[in-house]
Every structure is written in C-alpha cells, then in structure tokens.
C-alpha cells in the first residue's frame, strides 16, 4: 500500500515548482547520475516527492541534505559508509540502493558494502573511516559512550563529529519519512 501522492511537474506552481526545480536542477542533478531522481513521468523519487507536501520545510530539508553531501568535509567513502549504516539500521531500501551505487563510485568494495549492510565487523586501513563507521553505528543505536568518543576523537575532530551527527539525523529523517509514506 502506498501513501504517496505523486506530484507531477505539470501540476506544480509557486513554492512547489520552485522546490521541484531546486531538487532536479541543483547539486543532486550534477555529475554522474548514479540513481534516478525522477520517474519517467517526472515524479520525484525516494523521499523527495514528499518534500513537496510542505515546500518551506521540504526546501530547508533538501538544503541540509545538499550541504551534507556536497559541502561537507567527509570523504566520499566515509560519507557513504555512514549513509549506508543509517540505511541498514532503518531498513531503507531506497537509501541502500541509491547509496550503494554512490558508494561503489566512491571506492567501496562489494565486501565492504556487504559488511556495512550486515552490521558486520569491517577492518579499515584509514583511521578516520574506521572512526566514522564506529561512531555512526553508535549513533544509530542510541548514544556515543565515552569509550567510543575516546576511540573516535581523534582521529575525527569535533567539527567532523558535528557534520556526521547532522548527516545521520538527516538520513534517519528521510528513512522515517519513506517508511511512513510507504515510499
């Protein structure tokens, strides 16, 4: 059962049309297309169609997402590992499918993707990537205890932890919305 109301571009005007254009013409639409943003009939895919329900809120949310993905300091592998941990925790099929493709392009191997999806141990050579993975796994299960903080900061700095918590919160929000709207 779907709870989604598909907003078709021809039916949009005002703030909804402006938001649609911001999503389809902004940074998500630049570079290689590793997953589709719109269906064949122009309806936004994944979480983005529901952003149009409340354009002011949807625009703020899409700008946070664009900042996390395109203006953050996390490396591509680390960022995609974190997103995929959230996708696995929330069992979010769209996030998993979309970001496995992005993760592969960022250099994640099939074995690494499988370990992240399964929540299995993953031996990473890069200390910052290992810290991102450990910290994200802690974040999705509740809190960051003192031992995890001490193991992760450094190699991560406080600014990166702020970015990572924002990323985790954003993708958890999307996963929740997609679950509620049966996307």
- In tens, the pLDDT along 70-113 reads 999 999 999 999 999 999 999 999 999 999 999 999 999 999 99
Give the residue with greater pLDDT, 130 vs 34: 130
Whether residue 30 is predicted with pLDDT greater than 90 in this model: the reply is no
Confidence class for position 7, pLDDT limits 50, 70, 90: very high
Q: Which pLDDT score is estimated for 150?
A: 97
158 Cβ contact partners less than 8 Å away, ≥ 6 residues apart: none
Measured between alpha carbons, how far is 61 from 65 in angstroms, rounded to an integer? Answer: 6
Residue pair 106/77 in contact (Cβ under 8 Å)? The answer is yes
Q: Which pLDDT score is estimated for 34?
A: 82
Beta bridge partners of 38: 44
Q: Which pLDDT score is estimated for 86?
A: 98
Q: Which pLDDT score is estimated for 31?
A: 72
Average pLDDT over residues 145-157: 97
């Amino acid at each position: 059962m779907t709870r989604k109301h598909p907003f078709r571009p021809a039916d949009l005007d005002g703030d909804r049309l402006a938001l649609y254009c911001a999503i389809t013409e902004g940074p998500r639409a630049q570079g290689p297309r590793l997953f589709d943003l719109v269906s064949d009939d122009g309806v936004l895919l994944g979480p983005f169609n529901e952003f149009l329900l409340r354009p002011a809120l949807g625009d703020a949310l899409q700008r946070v997402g664009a900042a996390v993905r395109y203006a953050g300091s996390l490396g591509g592998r680390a960022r995609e590992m974190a997103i995929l941990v959230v996708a696995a925790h929330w069992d979010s099929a769209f996030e998993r499918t979309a970001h496995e493709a992005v993760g592969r392009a960022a250099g994640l191997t099939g074995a690494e993707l499988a370990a992240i999806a399964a929540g299995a141990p993953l031996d990473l050579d890069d200390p910052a990537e290992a810290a991102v993975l450990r910290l994200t796994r802690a974040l999705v299960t509740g809190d960051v205890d003192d031992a995890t903080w001490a193991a992760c900061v450094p190699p991560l700095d406080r600014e990166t932890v702020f970015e990572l918590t924002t990323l985790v919160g954003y993708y958890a929000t999307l996963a929740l919305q997609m679950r509620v709207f049966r996307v």
